[in-house]
Structure 1
Amino acid sequence: MQEGEYAFRLVVTDSAGQQSTAVVAVIVQPGNNRPPLAVAGPDEELVFPVQSATLDGSGSSDNHGIVHYHWEHIGGPSAVEMENVDRAVATVTGLQVGTHLFCLTVADQQGLSSTSTLTLAVRKESNSPPRARAGGRHVLVLPNNSITLDGSRSTDDQGIVSYLWVRDGQSPAARDVIDGSDHSVALQLTNLVEGVYTFCLRVTDSQGASDMDTATVEVRPDPRRGGLVELILQVGVGQLTEQQKDAVVRRLAVLLAVLDSDIKVQRIQAHSDLSTTLLFYVQSRPPAQVLRAADVARALHRRLSREKADFLLFKVLRVDTASCLLECSGHGRCDPITKRCICSQLWMENLIQRYVRDGESNCEWSIFYVMGLACALLVLAGGVTWLCICCCHRQKRTKIRKKTKYTILDDMDEQERMELRPKYSIKHRSTEHNSSLMVSESEFDSEQDTIFSREGMERGPPRASRNGSVRNGASFSYCSKDR
């Protein structure tokens, strides 16, 4: 219908042919179309990083209905991607830090349109670093050698994305990590040994910020360590059944005669492919007290030597204390393999105690003391030897002087017998004449022996001796002037 007045007549007829009419007037006036109203939505503030944002223009309106929508990015960083730009609701990705402006255009069927602007402000978040909580200090007492360190108390405002546990380099190396748990929130450890372990937990958030905290595990020795005995049997650990183990324990009780005590097996483990280690201790009944491992091992070794090799069902390869308990007199350390002391420098074992007394290895002797004692003994032995030699020599000289033999001087008158002439290395044999002046044969053996010979008589009349007359027992020195 066009603009103007229209008249319409209605004729109605019944079954008898009677009719009636009515006229209606329709006036068509010119149209009153209003333009649509575009609504892009309220302005927003987002925190970087932003995965995506939604632009909602469904709040736009028109009196005759909106037939067209269009979104457009008109301001801000250009690295923006848009989807469904010709629909009421569009999606934006790739938003960077800054202020972004989006324009929405709507139109009705009459071609009337309207626009609206939306502001998206993307700011960089002030990220707080995470806080690591490794669990603090823990105390573990052997034989319990497993523990779990829990780092779940660590926090972050945006969430923690990675955990890493690292062992300190000064910690004991012996430990096993279960199922790679050193990269998870809880660290599971086993096979720990005596000592202090330090583990560092590093947590990281999505922004790369990180924090560290440490946890310590103090592994204390077994309070029954002094009573643990190591029994090595020649049988594979997989072949030893529970019944056989009970039989071995009963026979151990028989050997040790522990009527008022109990044998407690602490651990059974493989020693090699063909041998098994049985760790046990002997505990007296109330009041409970663990017997010394050294005493138990010594008694067991002595009694096993009297029994058959298979008295304990299997051949016994070794009986010893489980750990080396020697204090080494404070001057060394105990070798856990040989169970003997390794002495520090300048110290050595007390051999008397080691091989004569109780046989326990020690480090009681200082090398300086031993060297001093050895030197004193050497000097003493040398002095005793020298004294013996001197005594023997003196005794020999005494015996030689007692053996006196005399030689009679030949053809000498009484005056000539008074003159003495010493001469070396000449011995006179006895003659057929007797004389009252005789000389001892023992005196001929020394450099100052006096010899009487015929030579003095052949030289002429007798001369007076330089020393005067000779007396009994007097000796003379040899002089060249007497020749």
Structure 2
Amino acid sequence: MEEGDYTFQLKVTDSSQQQSTAVVTVIVQPENNRPPVAVAGPDKELIFPVESATLDGSSSSDDHGIVFYHWEHVRGPSAVEMENIDKAIATVTGLQVGTYRFRLTVKDQQGLSSTSTLTVAVKKENNSPPRARAGGRHVLVLPNNSITLDGSRSTDDQGIVSYLWIRDGQSPAAGDVIDGSDHSAALQLTNLVEGVYTFHLRVTDSQGASDTDTATVEVQPDPRKSGLVELTLQVGVGQLTEQRKDTLVRQLAVLLNVLDSDIKVQKIRAHSDLSTVIVFYVQSGQPFKVLKAAEVARNLHTRLSKEKADFLLFKVLRVDTAGCLLKCSGHGHCDPLTKRCICSQLWMENLIQHYIWDGESNCEWSIFYVTVLGFTLTVLTGGFTWLCICCCKRQKRTKIRKKTKYTILDNMDEQERMELRPKYGIKHRSTEHNSSLMVSESEFDSDQDTIFSREKMERGNPKVSMNGSIRNGASFSYCSKDR
């Protein structure tokens, strides 16, 4: 129907042919269309850095419905990207610090349109750095070796995005972090040893600002340390049930003859796949007194050596004190693993005490004094040995000196004179004038051994008889010039 007035008549007839009519008028007036209303949304204020912003025009309206949307950037830094600009909701990325203005245009079916403007302000945040709270100082007494450091009280105006716990380089290296908790608000530690630990907590906010705080954990020694005994058994730790442990404790009480005392098991841990370590102490008296570990270990070792091998429920592999209790004579420190003294420079272990007496490790001997003593003993031993050797050589050389043999050398030819000349260049003073007297080869014969050579005399002077008399009545004179 078009614009105008329309009249319609209705005529009705019944069975008797009676009729009636009625008239209705329809007026068609021109359309009364209203333009749409564009709504780009309230202005926005964002904090840099920001990844994206949403432009929402879905609140725009029209009496017959909107059929067209369009977003456009009309003001502000140009380095922006827009997506879905022909839809009710658009997205803007690449925003920098500054003020942006975006315009929304909407149209209805009749082509009527409307616009709206949206302002987006991107500002640089005045960020305050976070405040770290690591938890301060804590004291832990062994055998309790686990603790949790709570850094959740750290604060930031925009919120903390990361936590990091850092162990100080001067802290003991022992101690384990549970489940990577060094990157969470609460740091969980276990297996700590005696010493002072320092941990630094660093917290960081979304802007990259950070702050650091320090927490310390002082692990004090076990007050029962001097009484702890370490017993190594040949049994897997999984096979040592609670019932077997109670039986073993009763057997130890009988073996140590401490039925009126209490044996307290402090720790059970695996030593290897087939061995288990039980750490215990003996407590007696009122008030309670802990027996010294060295005495208990020595007593237990002595009793085990006397009893049968199967006296205890399991075979004993080793008995020792749990901690190293040696004082090392004040010149060293005790190694907690080997239970032996590590001596300082210029000190050494007393070898006599270690190998002959009680066998306890120590640092009693000064290397300087030991060196001087060793040098002195070496000199004395060498001098005494040299003296003994000299005395033996002198006794071998001491003999009775033999006297010289003599013989008559008259009427000897030159060859015989050469044969009877002294050996080794020995000369007698009489041989300088004549060769009638020669020195014999032996200088150590007695006076009774002085003889005349029978054969030489007879050849040299046939007038001489065997007993020294002169044959044919001739006499022999033994004077000085003949010597």
TM-score computed with the length of structure 1 as normaliser: 0.68
The one-letter code matched in structure 2 to 1:94 is: T
SS of alignment partner, residue 314 of structure 2: coil
1:204 maps to 204
Three-state SS of the structure 2 residue aligned to 1:265 is strand
* Contact kept? 2:261, 2:282, Cα under 8 Å: yes
State the distance in 2 between where 1:193 and 1:459 align.
Answer: 116
Q: Distance in 2 between matches of 1:387 and 1:67?
A: 132
* 2:237 aligned counterpart, secondary structure: coil
Q: Does 1:239 align with 2:257?
A: no
- 2:447 counterpart of 1:429: yes
Letter in 2 for 1:184: S
State the partner residue of 1:94: 93
Please give the alpha-carbon distance, in whole angstroms, between the structure 2 residues aligned to 1:255 and 1:38: 97
CA positional deviation for 1:130: 2.7
Query: 1:273 corresponds to which letter in structure 2?
Result: D
- Compared CA separation, residues 56 and 307, structure 1 to 2 (3 A): same
Query: Matches of 1:133 and 1:430 in 2, distance apart?
Result: 120
Aligned-residue offset at 1:264: 0.9
Instruction: Report the alpha carbon displacement of residue 279 of structure 1 after superposing the two structures with TM.
Output: 0.6
Would you say the 8 A contact 1:36–1:108 is kept in 2?
Answer: yes
- The one-letter code of the counterpart of 2:119 is T
What letter is aligned with 2:334?
Answer: C
Aligned-residue offset at 1:244: 1.5
- The equivalent residue for 2:332 is 332
| Superimposed CA distance per residue, residues 306-365 of structure 1 (whole angstroms, 9 cap, x where no aligned partner) | 111111111111111112211211323323343222333432222333344433211101
Q: Which stretch shifts more, 383-392 or 321-330? A: 383-392
Counterparts of 1:109 and 1:430, CA distance in 2: 172
Distance 1:119 1:253, change over 3 A: same
Shift of 1:274: 1.2
Q: 1:54 to 1:307 in 2, by over 3 A?
A: same
- Number of aligned pairs? 403
Q: For the residues of structure 2 that align with 1:395 and 1:67, how far apart are their CA atoms? A: 142
Q: Which moved more, 1:309-318 or 1:66-75?
A: 66-75
CA change 1:360–1:460 in 2 (3 A) is same
Gaps of 5+ in 2: 5-29, 404-429, 431-438, 451-467, 469-475
Q: Measured at CA, do residues 250 and 69 of structure 1 come closer, stay the same or move farther in structure 2, by a change above 3 Å?
A: same
Residue 149 (str. 1) matches residue 149 (str. 2) = yes
Q: Which residue number in structure 2 is paired with residue 318 of structure 1?
A: 318
Task: Give me the CA root mean square deviation.
Answer: 4.7
Cα distance in structure 2, aligned partners of 1:397 and 1:34: 154
Pairs within 5 Å for 1:178-217: 178-217=178-217
User: Are 1:306 and 2:324 an aligned pair?
Assistant: no
1:364 aligns with 2:364: yes
Q: TM-score, normalised by structure 2?
A: 0.68
1:171 CA drift (Å): 3.6
- Residues 31 and 189 of structure 1: is their aligned pair in 2 closer, same or farther, counting only changes over 3 Å? closer
Q: Is the 8 A contact 1:107 1:113 kept in 2?
A: yes
Is 2:69–2:107's contact at 8 Å kept on the other side of the alignment?
A: no
Counterpart of 1:52, as a letter, is A
Offset at residue 45 of structure 1 (A):
3.0
Tell me the CA shift for residue 297 of structure 1.
0.5
- Unaligned 5+ runs, structure 1: 5-29, 407-420, 433-453, 464-481
Distance 2:477 2:335 in 1: 94
Structure-2 residue corresponding to 1:176: 176
User: Does the residue aligned with 2:306 lie in a helix, a strand or coil?
Assistant: coil
Q: 1:40 to 1:387 in 2, by over 3 A?
A: closer
CA separation of 1:328/1:428 partners in 2, compared to 1, >3 Å: closer, same or farther?
closer
Quote how far apart the aligned CAs of 1:125 are.
1.8
The residue number in structure 2 matching 1:46 is 46
Change (3 A) 1:104 1:329: same
